[in-house]
């Protein structure tokens, strides 16, 4: 008997049986979610020993000349066309010319390849478009985002038959068809796989011909673009009781394209998502018959709907909402830095108050971090990866951090950001935050189950192999595979434990790091914590096994650590890729100090709450013998970050690059007024300092005393006027508000579906529509 067969038969076999009971069992939907997409830098972090040269050598995302021109041309033009206030509060829709522009300039076809008439943009270009649009109108941005996100276009591209692609993609590219995707129903939200919408395979007549088809019944809600869609991508559970397709009764979740004009389809009235009026509403189908070849990918893809969805989400989750969130944070940095500079209280610019600086510093660092992570993730996607765990991290973290940045921005603006009207530039973003938090996997469930739960299985060097071996129907083959994976795992765990211990006890001083100037020490700390993370994961899986899945608070904290590691890597990479800008160093320090503090606190919380106490004591001894030590960024770093956004400069420009800047001539646009006031205020700062030194506040008196010249006095007065215009808010006559009142709601009862969407009365319509009518 060879050594290896002795090991397999006498050591591995009993462990194999034990592990079959202990390791988490995967449900069919979990398995499909895990098998969707692939792994990337997340897998490196899970090894406990990330290869920094690989990270730094990874090429940053770049735009082609054509993509650049699209951003400078149609995107800029679209931004100038939209009036967010009127869209949300008066017209309750995008005006017709904006709809026409979106279609004709192919905003709905960014991901559709050129051969089908689309723009064929890279993921990065797609992200840049969404980012810029999000800084002028969330409504326009979501409208452009959805056809390029999870839905018919993406699904057809990945899974459609050639006939389906040839028919639908050119029509979608030309804007002749408006797509939406119906997954969520009243019963099934986060647990979408529990949907009760059905399709039954049967014979019927379609377009005058007899065929095998599907009789559909569904009730979906919250469907973006649903009220105006011409084609609905529908998720339902397919059954085949008469075995017309094969020998299975329950085929499972299936995706099909349903033209919305078919008999039995009801398009409901509109939801109003947080008063952001992008088209969204419920829809129903009653005995709608479609041929089986309307299944996306054809009959061969029947029952594979969940896997298809997860696969499409694996990429899409990393683009739409992270781009919107990065835009949100950058926009907050842009306007809040400017507003804090121009707004005075107690005769001082509020930007000088320490408590305001605390918020400004956080906003600036968040803007830097989110854009770093967005760019790095887009680069991975453009390189052909579909890293499902990374994109889940991006979705959850970007939206959460945007929430904090927007709340900080609101607080710094005070009443200015609360009073609605055309002069308010933060209200829409503030209302939009919960939408971003909820869609594409609500954040609580994303943090608790997806970021780490799937990450542990997906990215761990051996776990998935072990689980597959344990579930192998061929027991002998399974045992063989398990034997190999398990002992490699043991070796890996031993090395990881030694590594984590050594790095923790030496404070990370000896941990690997590239020569990266002032940031080298941060690489060392990340190497240290990656090893600790890998060890803690192994120990948790070993001691908790399948129970870890139900320990959502523990799992979520692991998810936070993995997220912090990923985002910190993105920050370090950005600093490196941008030529190690010295001015940006405080931002890097802020992000890394905050991340390292969070990582240490999360480890501490895991250890304190870990149910298997001896394992917790061992972990404490190995990775955190002295408890959490870091406190986050120092006041000095916070101060320097805040300073970057309260005065014009290259660092501020780098943070807020490529946002939409309304023309300075716009006298009704809050951002235009703010930018003008900011520029004038910053320019007169030296004059004001001179007056301050001379202890004179009154401009005319300063001229009389010859502290300043008459020309300087004029500039000061112009700046003061600009500031007054920028801090102004709107007010309304009671009649105006009465005219704007919303109609009575409808409960969306499927028994009384109203076919029409809420339409503005003619007098409320945008001028172009009135003219057309
Ligand atoms: C504006 C908007 C647009 C949308 N557009 C579309 C669309 O175009 N197509 C479409 O199909 N759907 C769409 N949705 C639906 C969206 O995907 C769902 O709202 C989302 O999946 C959450 O479902 P729910 O709202 O029913 O919340 P629920 O599922 O009821 O969740 C409530 C809370 O429980 C938490 N939770 C649930 N399960 C767990 C768990 N196991 N552990 C911990 N926490 C848990 C969630 O995180 C959430 O915080 C849209 C929603 C909105 C608001």
Which tens digit of pLDDT belongs to each residue from 173-193? Answer: 999 999 999 999 999 999 999
C-alpha 669/C-alpha 728 separation (Å) is 11
Residue 760: what pLDDT?
33
The per-residue b/e assignment along 582-598, b for 16 or more CB within 10 angstroms, e otherwise, is eebbbbbbbbbbbbbbb
* CA proximity to 539, closest of 588, 497, 579: 497
Residue 771: what pLDDT?
34
Q: Quick one: pLDDT band at residue 312, thresholds 50, 70, 90?
A: confident
Are 187 and 228 within 8 A, CB to CB?
no
Residue 25: what pLDDT?
66
Are 336 and 360 within 8 A, CB to CB?
yes
| Residue 282 alpha carbon to ligand 1 centre in Å | 14
Checking if the pLDDT of 88 tops 80, the result is yes
Residue 772: what pLDDT?
34
| Residue 196 alpha carbon to ligand 1 centre in Å | 16
Out of 190, 255, 441, mutate this one to test ligand 1's pocket (max ligand atoms within 8 Å of CB): namely: 190
CA distance between the termini of the chain: 90
Would you say the CB of residue 432 lies under 6 angstroms from ligand 1? no
CA 273 to ligand 1: nearest atom: 1
Residue 187: what pLDDT?
93
Residues labelled as active-site residues: 440
Q: Quick one: pLDDT band at residue 28, thresholds 50, 70, 90?
A: confident
Residue 3: what pLDDT?
61
For residues 544-564, give the mean pLDDT: 91
Residue 14: what pLDDT?
84
3 state SS of 214: strand
| Residue 190 alpha carbon to ligand 1 centre in Å | 5
Checking if the pLDDT of 127 tops 80, the result is yes
Residue 542: what pLDDT?
84
Would you say the CB of residue 189 lies under 6 angstroms from ligand 1? yes
Residue 648: what pLDDT?
94
For residues 355-374, give the mean pLDDT: 98
pLDDT in tens, 601-645: 999 999 999 999 999 999 999 999 999 999 999 999 999 999 999
Q: Quick one: pLDDT band at residue 4, thresholds 50, 70, 90?
A: low
Q: To the nearest whole number, what is the mean pLDDT of the chain?
A: 91
DSSP 676: H
Would you say the CB of residue 266 lies under 6 angstroms from ligand 1? no
CA 191 to ligand 1: nearest atom: 29
Are 183 and 235 within 8 A, CB to CB?
yes
For residues 282-296, give the mean pLDDT: 97
**DSSP state string for 120-145:** ---HHHHHHHHHHHHTT-HHHHHHHH
Would you say the CB of residue 559 lies under 6 angstroms from ligand 1? no
Residue 152: what pLDDT?
93
Which of 456-460, 581-585, 719-723 is least confident? 456-460
C-alpha 237/C-alpha 196 separation (Å) is 7
Residue with the bigger pLDDT between 482 and 433: it is 433
Q: Quick one: pLDDT band at residue 756, thresholds 50, 70, 90?
A: very low
CA 188 to ligand 1: nearest atom: 26
For residues 705-710, give the mean pLDDT: 93
Checking if the pLDDT of 441 tops 80, the result is yes
Checking if the pLDDT of 524 tops 60, the result is yes
For residues 246-267, give the mean pLDDT: 96
Would you say the CB of residue 442 lies under 6 angstroms from ligand 1? yes
Residue 549: what pLDDT?
79
Would you say the CB of residue 274 lies under 6 angstroms from ligand 1? no
For residues 298-311, give the mean pLDDT: 93
Most confident stretch, 49-53, 548-552, 766-770: 49-53
Would you say the CB of residue 218 lies under 6 angstroms from ligand 1? no
> Which residue's alpha carbon is nearest to atom 26 within ligand 1?
189
In order of 28, 470, 549, the CA distances from 17 in angstroms are 22, 9, 20
Would you say the CB of residue 188 lies under 6 angstroms from ligand 1? no
Q: Tell the residue number behind the tokens 């029509």, with chain if given.
A: 171
Would you say the CB of residue 298 lies under 6 angstroms from ligand 1? no
Out of 33, 222, 225, 444, mutate this one to test ligand 1's pocket (max ligand atoms within 8 Å of CB): namely: 222
For residues 268-290, give the mean pLDDT: 95
Checking if the pLDDT of 744 tops 80, the result is no
Residue with the bigger pLDDT between 665 and 686: it is 686
| Residue 184 alpha carbon to ligand 1 centre in Å | 8
CA 182 to ligand 1: nearest atom: 11
Q: Any idea of the CA torsion for 230, 233, 238, 244, to the nearest 10 degrees?
A: 60
| Residue 698 alpha carbon to ligand 1 centre in Å | 57
Would you say the CB of residue 552 lies under 6 angstroms from ligand 1? yes
Would you say the CB of residue 445 lies under 6 angstroms from ligand 1? yes
> Which residue's alpha carbon is nearest to atom 25 within ligand 1?
189
Residue 684: what pLDDT?
95
Are 657 and 331 within 8 A, CB to CB?
no
pLDDT in tens, 459-481: 888 888 888 888 888 888 888 88
| Residue 377 alpha carbon to ligand 1 centre in Å | 24
Out of 152, 280, 438, 446, mutate this one to test ligand 1's pocket (max ligand atoms within 8 Å of CB): namely: 438
For residues 713-740, give the mean pLDDT: 92
CA 280 to ligand 1: nearest atom: 3
> Which residue's alpha carbon is nearest to atom 7 within ligand 1?
223
In angstroms, how far is CA 301 from the centroid of its own chain? 28
Checking if the pLDDT of 447 tops 50, the result is yes
| Residue 464 alpha carbon to ligand 1 centre in Å | 28
Residue 316: what pLDDT?
84
Residue 31: what pLDDT?
72
Would you say the CB of residue 764 lies under 6 angstroms from ligand 1? no
3 state SS of 259: strand
Out of 139, 152, 189, mutate this one to test ligand 1's pocket (max ligand atoms within 8 Å of CB): namely: 189
For residues 47-59, give the mean pLDDT: 95
For residues 260-271, give the mean pLDDT: 95
Out of 439, 454, 553, 748, mutate this one to test ligand 1's pocket (max ligand atoms within 8 Å of CB): namely: 439
């Amino acid at each position: 008997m060879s050594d290896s067969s002795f090991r397999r038969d006498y050591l591995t076999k009993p462990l194999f049986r034990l592990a079959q009971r202990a390791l988490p069992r995967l449900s069919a939907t979990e398995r499909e979610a895990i098998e969707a997409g692939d792994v990337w830098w997340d897998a490196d972090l899970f090894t406990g020993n990330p290869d920094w040269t690989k990270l730094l050598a990874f090429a940053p995302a770049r735009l082609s000349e054509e993509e650049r021109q699209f951003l400078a041309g149609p995107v800029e033009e679209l931004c100038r066309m939209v009036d967010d206030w009127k869209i949300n509060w008066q017209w309750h829709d995008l005006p017709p010319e904006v709809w026409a522009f979106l279609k004709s300039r192919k905003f709905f076809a960014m991901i559709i390849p050129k051969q089908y008439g689309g723009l064929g943009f890279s993921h990065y270009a797609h992200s840049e478009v969404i980012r810029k649009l999000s800084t002028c109108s969330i409504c326009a941005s979501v409208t452009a985002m959805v056809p390029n996100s999870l839905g018919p276009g993406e699904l057809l591209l990945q899974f459609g038959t050639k006939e389906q692609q040839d028919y639908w993609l050119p029509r979608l590219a030309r804007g002749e068809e408006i797509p939406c995707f119906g997954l969520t129903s009243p019963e099934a939200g986060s647990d979408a796989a529990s949907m009760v919408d059905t399709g039954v395979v049967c014979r019927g007549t379609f377009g005058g011909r007899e065929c095998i088809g599907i009789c559909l019944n569904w009730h979906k809600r919250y469907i973006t673009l649903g009220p105006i869609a011409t084609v609905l991508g529908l998720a339902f559970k397919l059954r085949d009781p008469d075995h017309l397709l094969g020998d299975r009764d329950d085929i499972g979740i299936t995706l099909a394209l349903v033209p919305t004009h078919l008999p039995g389809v009801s398009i409901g009235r509109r939801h109003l998502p947080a008063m952001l009026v992008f088209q969204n509403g419920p829809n129903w189908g009653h005995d709608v018959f479609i041929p089986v070849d309307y299944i996306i990918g054809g009959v061969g893809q029947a029952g594979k709907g969940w896997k298809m969805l997860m696969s499409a989400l694996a990429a899409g989750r990393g683009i739409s909402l992270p781009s919107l969130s990065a835009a949100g944070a950058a926009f907050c940095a842009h306007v809040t830095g400017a507003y804090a500079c121009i707004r005075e209280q107690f005769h001082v610019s509020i930007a000088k108050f320490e408590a305001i600086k605390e918020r400004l510093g956080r906003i600036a660092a968040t803007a830097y971090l989110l854009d770093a992570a967005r760019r790095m993730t887009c680069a991975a996607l453009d390189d052909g990866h579909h890293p499902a765990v990374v994109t889940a991290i991006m979705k959850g973290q970007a939206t959460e951090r945007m929430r904090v940045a927007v709340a900080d921005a609101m607080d710094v603006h005070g009443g200015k950001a609360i009073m609605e009207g055309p002069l308010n530039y933060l209200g829409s973003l503030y209302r939009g935050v919960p939408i971003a938090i909820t869609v594409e996997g609500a954040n609580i469930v994303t943090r608790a189950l997806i970021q780490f739960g799937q990450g542990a299985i997906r990215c761990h060097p051996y776990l998935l192999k072990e689980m597959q071996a344990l579930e192998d129907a061929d027991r002998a083959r399974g045992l063989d595979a398990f034997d190999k994976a398990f002992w490699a795992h043991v070796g890996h765990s031993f090395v990881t434990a030694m590594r984590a211990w050594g790095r923790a006890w030496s404070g990370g001083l000896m941990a690997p790091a590239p020569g990266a100037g002032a940031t080298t020490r941060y690489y060392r700390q990340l190497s240290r914590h990656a090893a600790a993370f890998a060890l803690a994961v192994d120990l948790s899986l070993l001691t908790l096994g399948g129970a870890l899945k139900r320990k959502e608070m523990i799992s979520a904290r692991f998810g936070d650590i993995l997220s912090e590691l990923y985002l910190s890597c993105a920050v370090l990479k950005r600093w490196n890729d941008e030529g190690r800008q010295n001015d940006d160093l405080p931002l890097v320090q802020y992000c890394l100090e905050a991340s390292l503090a969070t990582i240490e606190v999360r480890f501490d919380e895991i250890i304190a709450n870990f149910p298997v106490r001896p394992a917790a004591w061992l972990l404490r001894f190995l990775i955190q013998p002295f408890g959490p030590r870091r406190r986050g960024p120092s006041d000095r770093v916070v101060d320097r970050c805040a300073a970057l956004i309260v005065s014009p400069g290259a660092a501020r420009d780098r943070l807020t690059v490529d946002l939409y800047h309304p023309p300075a001539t716009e006298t009704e646009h809050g951002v235009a007024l703010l930018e003008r006031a900011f520029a004038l205020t910053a320019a007169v700062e030296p004059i004001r300092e001179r007056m301050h030194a001379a202890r004179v506040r009154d401009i005319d008196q300063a001229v009389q005393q010859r502290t300043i010249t008459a020309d300087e006095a004029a500039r000061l007065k112009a700046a003061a006027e600009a500031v007054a215009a920028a801090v102004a808010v709107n007010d309304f006559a009671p009649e105006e508000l009465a005219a704007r009142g919303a109609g009575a709601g409808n409960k969306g009862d499927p028994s009384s579906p109203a076919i029409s969407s809420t339409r503005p009365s003619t007098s409320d319509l945008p001028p172009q529509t009135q003219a057309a009518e």
